[in-house]
Amino acid sequence: MDREAATDLVRGLVEIPSLSRQESVATAWLAAQMRGSGFDRAFVDDAGNAVGELGDPKAARTIVLLGHIDTVPGNIPVRIEDDALYGRGSVDAKGPLATFVAGAARFGSAAAKAAGLHVVVVGAVEEEAATSKGARFIASRFNGKSEPIPTACIIGEPSHWNRVTLGYKGRLLMDFTADQPMAHTAGPDASVASVVVDFWNWVTAHADRANDGKDKVFDQLSPSLRRFITSTNDQMHDTVDAQFAWRIPVGFDAEAFMTELRQAVSGFSEITTFNLKFRGYERAWRGDRNNPLVRSFLAGLRSIEPSEKLGFVLKSGTSDMNVVGPQWQCPIVAYGPGDSALDHTPNEHLPIEEYWKAVNVIEQTLIAFSNTIPRT
């Protein structure tokens, strides 16, 4: 696949809207593109993922390139302007996904078979919905029973073409309501809104204590207030509907923390009833840089720019690495062209030159990685 074809691929993918749970048109299109680009097999699986495979499924080792095809909302007119592709998903994360498809196509079926390597490219669904339905399905497919656990995995997320991401913080979401009987504002009891503010202040103070002595953001507990809505029900009760969220560090005991939160709310007001619901929990995950996958990336990068140094990043968000990393326990990094600061923004765009460099890095990384695998 040459530069023009690779550019057509990423533009075509970005042009198809694919909000979370509305990805079917895009996944069918991408599977067809992979079939036409020399993949041995390409299909939409039972979770709705677009999957393309090179080489023998029974090969000695498997490498999974796991991107996501869904996007957040936002209508950005798709265009190429000043050699940059504008459009929702161009950076997060259709650009990295198209990089995987184009780079794997350039590596090719013959090379995969000669190396005894099974290459699996996945455009996963529902990553942005905090369900990671597609990644969970792939994690269960390669479970060491029905199919072997992958030898290595690359997650498709933007990090610039010359950097890889080694880890992501975890996540915990808490939706809750706080309810109490209406009272006159001049009365002695605090309003339900004030009680929830006290709860939020407790949360931030708890994080400050947990973060004492921890200078790096990746190692810190980071709370955020996502929603705060006050209302009156049937003219008899005042209610707050809110969401608190946390980015959590490696090794954090989420179960103990949830218990602590349930206990804490009982002490804020005798007349306030809290209903806490936890969801979206993902463990933090951090990989190492001393493994065949990272060394293959270093070789791939240097084959494109001999003097370029491979950068390493730790991110405070989450990705599908949080889903498959703990299950597979294999060498894993995240990679993809684009500036992650543009994720979800109205100005989301991907420089074509950077994208093309990343395509070639993936091709050369697969070549280097295949050379570490015994031929069968």
Per-position pLDDT tens, the chain of length 376: 999 999 999 999 999 999 999 999 999 999 999 999 999 999 999 999 999 999 999 999 999 999 999 999 999 999 999 999 999 999 999 999 999 999 999 999 999 999 999 999 999 999 999 899 999 999 999 999 989 999 999 999 999 999 999 999 999 999 999 999 876 554 567 889 999 999 999 999 999 999 999 999 999 999 999 999 999 876 678 999 999 999 999 999 999 999 999 999 988 888 899 999 999 999 999 999 999 999 999 999 999 999 999 999 999 999 999 999 999 999 999 999 999 999 999 999 999 999 999 999 999 999 999 998 554 4
- Residue 345 falls inside a structural domain: yes
> Are residues 150 and 29 part of one domain?
yes
Using the Cα atoms of residue 175, residue 47, residue 329 and residue 97 in order, give the sign of their dihedral.
negative
Omega of the bond leading into 59 within 30 degrees of 0 (cis) = no
Boundary of a domain, candidates 238, 260, 282: 282
- Residue 315 falls inside a structural domain: yes
> Are residues 262 and 310 part of one domain?
no
Give the residue numbers spanning the domain of 190. Answer: 170-282
Boundary of a domain, candidates 259, 282, 305: 282
**CATH label of the domain that carries residue 220:** 3.30.70.360
Boundary of a domain, candidates 282, 315, 345: 282
- Residue 14 falls inside a structural domain: yes
> Are residues 296 and 244 part of one domain?
no
Residue 148 confidence (pLDDT) = 95
Buried b (16+ CB within 10 A) or exposed e, 358-368: bbbbbbbbbbb
> Are residues 257 and 127 part of one domain?
no
- Residue 375 falls inside a structural domain: no
> Are residues 351 and 325 part of one domain?
yes
Residue 375 confidence (pLDDT) = 47
What total of structural domains would you count in the chain?
A: 2
> Are residues 174 and 145 part of one domain?
no
Residue 374 confidence (pLDDT) = 55
Residue 184 confidence (pLDDT) = 52
169, 168, 142: which is closest to 155 by C-alpha?
168
Q: Known catalytic residues?
A: 70, 127
> Are residues 181 and 103 part of one domain?
no
Using the Cα atoms of residue 344, residue 16, residue 3 and residue 154 in order, give the sign of their dihedral.
positive
Rounded Cα distance, 209 and 223, in Å: 13
- Residue 376 falls inside a structural domain: no
Give Cα separations from 164 to 99, 121, 346 (angstroms). Answer: 14, 18, 25
Q: Which residue spans within the chain are E strands per DSSP?
A: 41-44, 50-54, 61-68, 79-81, 84-86, 117-124, 152-156, 160-168, 170-181, 222-233, 237-248, 273-282, 285-286, 311-315, 332-336, 349-351
> Are residues 243 and 197 part of one domain?
yes
Q: What is the pTM of this model?
A: 0.92
Rounded Cα distance, 285 and 300, in Å: 24
> Are residues 250 and 234 part of one domain?
yes
Question: What's the token pair of residue 248?
Answer: 């959590």
- Residue 18 falls inside a structural domain: yes
Residue 144 CB partners (closer than 8 Å, separation 6+): none
> Are residues 231 and 134 part of one domain?
no
> Are residues 48 and 36 part of one domain?
yes
- Residue 247 falls inside a structural domain: yes
> Are residues 312 and 278 part of one domain?
no
